[in-house]
Amino acid sequence: MILTVTLNTALDITYRVRALRPHSTHRVSEVSERPGGKGLNVGRVLAALGHEVTVTGFSGGATGRVVRDRLAESAGVVDALVPVEGPTRRTIAVVDTTTGDTTQLNEPGPAITPAEWAAFQETYEHLLRSASAVALCGSLPPGVPVGAYAQLVRTARALAVPVLLDTSGEPLRRGVAARPDVVKPNAEELAELTGSHEPLQATRNARRRGAHTVVASLGANGLLAHTPEGHWRATPPVRTHGNPTGAGDSAVAGLLSGLVENLDWPARLTRAVALSAATVAAPVAGEFDRALYENLLTRVTVTTEATAA
């Protein structure tokens, strides 16, 4: 079983409009709702790839009940969310169908009490005992300690469970110091962590801070990986147009599934890039265009990167 953690779960709402213009009234042509938050998106993609998945994190209020009801419809995903008093947040994506651009609005999330945080940690440690790998994903809701991910990384390492961390800001900085197996920042998050805007230098610096492996997401330019086994760049053959929401989460699913299947790094990166691009072509996060994914698996380019020691 693969475990994904989403401390700040959400109900993802996607509006599609013909053209998004500030200070204007818009008619929405299509509305979709999905369980959201990075780890839930990762979990749905992993399940679609045929893996057994359990998702945990927090869920509360009427929005949380909708999230859990929708999760029950997701084949292959086991719900182990921890109930809380505060309401689960909503995220709003507005897709301009003319340009393909997406505007994202993210609520902060419920305030988590010390008792709720303690209950989650107990659930997390119990679930880890039957997990083959764990992904720690996304932002922290109010009330959760800023060092939460560092603590969760240490718990996973103590139980010898490989852990992938995908977050940003101070939670990322502290989490990296706890020595996760993989971190997957985007270029902006990596620059903020290391102070370097040159990706090769930045990935090397992030490893020096404690990460075993760093896989940097470069958007339409693919992935850059700095690992103990080597350094690679994986690039899609063409730029995919559509909704980029969830593309990074699909990349995490590709990396994590490759890890538990013992694929080599070029194969893991190929899968991650293909899934990411195929997610951009899908209407909502947590889904991917399977035909495009299978086509891209044979067309992603992986090259060795030379970098100073």
Q: Which residues of 21-53 are buried (b: 16+ CB within 10 A; e: fewer)?
A: eeeeeeeeeeeeebbbbbbbbbbbbbbbbebeb
Q: Kindly indicate the confidence band of residue 183, based on its pLDDT and cuts at 50, 70 and 90.
A: very high
Q: Kindly indicate the confidence band of residue 240, based on its pLDDT and cuts at 50, 70 and 90.
A: confident
Q: Is the pLDDT of residue 184 over 80?
A: yes
In terms of phi and psi (left: phi > 0; alpha: psi -120 to 50; beta: otherwise), the region of 146 is alpha
Separation of alpha carbons 1 and 48, rounded Å: 14
Q: What positions carry a catalytic annotation?
A: 249
Predicted local confidence at residue 14, as pLDDT: 87
Q: What is the pLDDT of residues 42-81, one digit of tens each?
A: 999 999 999 999 999 999 999 999 999 999 998 899 999 9
Q: What is the pLDDT of residues 257-303, one digit of tens each?
A: 999 999 999 999 999 999 988 888 676 666 788 878 888 888 888 99
Q: Kindly indicate the confidence band of residue 308, based on its pLDDT and cuts at 50, 70 and 90.
A: very low
Instruction: Tell how strand 223-227 and strand 213-217 pair up.
Output: antiparallel
Higher pLDDT, 307 or 166: 166
Predicted local confidence at residue 159, as pLDDT: 97
Q: Which helix (H) or strand (E) holds 158?
A: helix 148-158
Q: Is the pLDDT of residue 309 over 50?
A: no
Separation of alpha carbons 9 and 257, rounded Å: 22
Q: Are 10 and 107 in contact (CB under 8 A)?
A: yes
Q: Is the pLDDT of residue 195 over 50?
A: yes
User: Is the pTM for the entire model greater than 0.85?
Assistant: yes
